[in-house]
A and B are shown apart, each in its own frame.
Chain A
């Protein structure tokens, strides 16, 4: 039996009933990871699965996540574990400390098992820029799993993980969750500590759970969320039990569909699956659905591709070959050391973003790019504030379509950037957003993601609505997430 096919909550039940032991679970997980991850489909959700070692801490058996294995994206620090952001420049770097989320998981009894593959430094939407090679979509290995948390989403979809952690800067949890047909939550900015998450864009990054169903997502977020004195940007706001409202009626909920998000969807099938059918389902559950406007939406991608690379260009300065990670041999001067190590250590997309960001922060360009982008960012945030005066949450597609083929967009960065067009705004505004399986498309029944966007720190309402939708549609069962 592969216990990784279980949900967090099903596995917790088995433990409660003494139907399995932690040892059995971990052994079956190791077997599944080692066999499935390197089978002919070449899913490759994990980095170095053969050396993965479970890490746990003494915890009471009644702890919330006792014995639950969690896979972790390769940009979240685990003590004494190699961490590389899927980049050559960090190869061999062993973190001497745990990220706060890892400490929280270990304290709750969880077992940290396996590093999942990702786009290098989370720069990408397809998981193709990893120095370890691409991850493939378990629903169709010819397709990408989405990115950047492609490995985290693929492992959960492929049942080589019970649940995983990803990080989301512009859609990096939600878009792969959508492509792989699982549940991905990007919490409110400040809800989860970023301490120990290797920064991509500090003002946008959030860690979040990727799970087989909504309940698991709520369970996992309840554990990792909360104020952290080590992260000045984390919010000192109490964490509710996110599972408390699951199953409660959503009758009377007001749901908004932003017209700017859907007016351009020309494909009738996508329109039906991503807009019309979800609308009907929510209405049948007693919610009212209306059209709202987020007028600055069309600037979101442009703003994002100034703000995110600017911060990234600075955040990646510490990777200089001096103190840790990769250093190219044979440098003759200090400048040579920097140029050689960074020139060889970073991949093409990382270099592209560093150059973009360096340019927009340069003296003489700062006002025209970074400063202006930050002003528009405020406008985008105000759009959400306005919309949430009318509605409780927003309903949008997670991505413009289902998973695309490997190599389909990797030659054209701009096209790749547009695959995050629906997810980016939530990061710019700092609001929580969740992707759930919203429909199936094509012969291969590839999953489509539906995104719910909520008010700041109102993840509970998102979960309540998502759970109601999940129960009404059963896509998570059709996809085999829950058997």
Chain B
């Protein structure tokens, strides 16, 4: 690995807004239709056609700005970004240049050194381009304009991310905010979230920012992380070799996990931005902003603070729980019927998250719909009452209750009740001591940890049913008797 460098990253994220229709016409903004079926003279860019702003799209954009804590522009204005490409039917993209819909705002992320605010530069609205299809024919390329005119919000951060992990964390939290605000479905598979990363490195903090390299074609959070890591390594090695860094645009190849030069600064487009004369600028009324603000649901950041205040949860726990609305609802439902907030949080962070991680397909399909809050609470109750050991509860009963079975019934059917009967426990202890003479010697020579080992052995022997709270004392007593 090359020498330590300071990494600076800025992200540009294109988010498809959750509108049934396109931004400047009434065609369906649908994924997966027959090519060129959701089109009209406007999104085909036919001669003489004119764009008309879809107010619903505009409102979604406004919600996004407010959800991210940005300041909406007073003047709503669009501009033309001119360039030639076959997927761009008008030869220009209608976008926003000098008056983006929103400026500022931030997204909070966790870093090893604490919570960090990723500051946003801007959010602007624009139309998506179509798609080129190259694999229909060996000699021709085809154009599908279904996607042309699909509404996008481009969200640009300041160059304030310091690592690939921060970039990943930022995207995760951005997605949570936009989903909660109802602005976008953020479905990566449908291309609802696409990212370009600007990466530069320098040797010392006192140096000016290094030459910026823009990486395009990042279609998943994983790709963003991998591409940044690749690029940092590539740039650091180049710097080490004394190569001169150039400002350029590179393309990420997800299969080969590498970036490739796409174009250098010299070949950069001059987009010749100018105000879109077909759309009349208008003033954004304060009342409209206030209405949009009021209609926003509680966002992850505020929800986290609510959880902390309401249930005295740690920031860490609150953040984990509110990252997913369904988990949060589940938590609140549990707390309503059982007041041991801490224990519920522990179960959610532990077993529920593990279940979610291990069963991602099932979880995607059913979510938490089959795990009822009552069942988890009953399970916790059984442990608290001493009927069930924690270990058995986690390992043997939890996997059944996520499938909808009652914990009491599982315990009964499988004979999992915790054993607290001294006689029965002593029987197992005697057997374990007999099988581990070396450990007994350790205890005699003063090793207290020997007791913990024997507790573990008894738990194992009892298949987890032995009451671990009683074992320590009983084992010590037996050992001393020897």
A-B contact count, CB below 8 Å?
101
Check if A83 is an interface residue, CB within 8 A of chain B. Answer: yes
A481 to chain B minimum Cβ distance, whole angstroms, is: 30
* Chain B interfacial positions (CB closer than 8 Å to A): 41, 44-53, 80, 82, 84, 86, 89-92, 143, 270, 272-274, 277-280
B48 touches A197 (CB 8 A): yes
A323 touches B44 (CB 8 A): yes
B48 touches A361 (CB 8 A): no
The residue from A83, A233, A316, A322 contacting B143, defined by CB atoms under 8 A apart: A322
Q: Give 1 or 0 for each of A358-370: 1 = CB within 8 Å of chain B CB.
A: 1001110010001
The residue from A231, A317, A323, A366 contacting B84, defined by CB atoms under 8 A apart: A317
Check if A292 is an interface residue, CB within 8 A of chain B. Answer: no
Known contacts A229-B52, A320-B91; is A370 also within 8 Å of B274 by CB? yes
* A449→B46 CA distance, assembly (Å): 36
A195 touches B51 (CB 8 A): no
Residues in A neighbouring B280, C-beta threshold 8 A: 232-233
The dominant DSSP class at the B interface is: loop
The residue from B45, B48, B274 contacting A366, defined by CB atoms under 8 A apart: B274
B51 touches A232 (CB 8 A): yes
A232 touches B53 (CB 8 A): yes
B46 touches A314 (CB 8 A): no
Residue of B nearest to A85 (CB): B47
Q: Give 1 or 0 for each of A297-337: 1 = CB within 8 Å of chain B CB.
A: 00000000000001101101111101110000000001000
The residue from A76, A194, A318 contacting B50, defined by CB atoms under 8 A apart: A194
Check if A382 is an interface residue, CB within 8 A of chain B. Answer: no
The residue from B50, B89, B272, B277 contacting A362, defined by CB atoms under 8 A apart: B272
B50 touches A195 (CB 8 A): yes
B87 to chain A minimum Cβ distance, whole angstroms, is: 9
Check if A95 is an interface residue, CB within 8 A of chain B. Answer: yes
Residues in B neighbouring A230, C-beta threshold 8 A: 50, 52
A93 to chain B minimum Cβ distance, whole angstroms, is: 7
Residue of B nearest to A370 (CB): B274
B143 touches A323 (CB 8 A): yes
Residues in A neighbouring B44, C-beta threshold 8 A: 323
Residues in B neighbouring A255, C-beta threshold 8 A: none
A206 to chain B minimum Cβ distance, whole angstroms, is: 13
A317 touches B277 (CB 8 A): no
B49 touches A195 (CB 8 A): yes
Residues in B neighbouring A199, C-beta threshold 8 A: 47-48, 278
Check if A77 is an interface residue, CB within 8 A of chain B. Answer: yes
B273 to chain A minimum Cβ distance, whole angstroms, is: 8
B84 touches A338 (CB 8 A): yes
B107 to chain A minimum Cβ distance, whole angstroms, is: 31
Residues in A neighbouring B270, C-beta threshold 8 A: 362-363
* A229→B82 CA distance, assembly (Å): 26
Q: Give 1 or 0 for each of A66-103: 1 = CB within 8 Å of chain B CB.
A: 00000000011100000101000010010111010000
A389 to chain B minimum Cβ distance, whole angstroms, is: 25
Residues in B neighbouring A370, C-beta threshold 8 A: 274
Check if A198 is an interface residue, CB within 8 A of chain B. Answer: yes
Residue of B nearest to A199 (CB): B48
Residue of A nearest to B90 (CB): A318
* A93→B49 CA distance, assembly (Å): 14
Residues in A neighbouring B50, C-beta threshold 8 A: 194-195, 230-233
The residue from A233, A317, A334 contacting B90, defined by CB atoms under 8 A apart: A317
A314 touches B272 (CB 8 A): yes
A165 to chain B minimum Cβ distance, whole angstroms, is: 13
B46 touches A97 (CB 8 A): yes
B277 touches A95 (CB 8 A): no
B96 to chain A minimum Cβ distance, whole angstroms, is: 15
Residue of A nearest to B276 (CB): A202
Check if A203 is an interface residue, CB within 8 A of chain B. Answer: yes
Check if A196 is an interface residue, CB within 8 A of chain B. Answer: yes
B482 to chain A minimum Cβ distance, whole angstroms, is: 88
26 A-B contacts (beta carbon < 8 Å): A93-B47, A95-B46, A96-B46, A195-B49, A196-B49, A198-B48, A199-B47, A199-B278, A233-B277, A233-B280, A311-B274, A314-B80, A314-B82, A314-B91, A314-B92, A316-B91, A317-B82, A317-B90, A317-B92, A318-B90, A323-B44, A361-B82, A361-B272, A363-B270, A366-B272, A366-B273
Residue of B nearest to A374 (CB): B275
Query: A-B pairs with the 10 shortest C-beta distances?
Result: A317-B91, A202-B277, A361-B272, A203-B277, A198-B47, A196-B48, A77-B48, A198-B48, A363-B270, A322-B86
